Structure 1
């Protein structure tokens, strides 16, 4: 971000910096390998309707 070079990062990690122009995307047509993303709750009691809604939101946005 300070003109220091090129980085290979997940769009999840840098999406805000891409939106506000701090970073620019290179090789836009390059498809990196897919990776799994896990949503982990310490116990089943913590799998609330809000957590389920968040999981569904992530599924939709990260397709």
Structure 2
């Protein structure tokens, strides 16, 4: 599942987006943005559903568990 990650409307400046190919990559980008001080981050899948950090962590953990078995 692909995700688009970008600063939320309250912090958007110059407008940029990152495309992640899976939840793990999206989670890494979100954590990097948080480390840089951004707190309003939009993560959206191609269908327009929004994800928060907890959901990305859950999806990543489930994916890694499936891969391990």
TM > 0.5 between the two? no
Larger Rg, first or second structure (1 or 2): 1
TM-score by length of 2: 0.26
TM-score by length of 1: 0.27
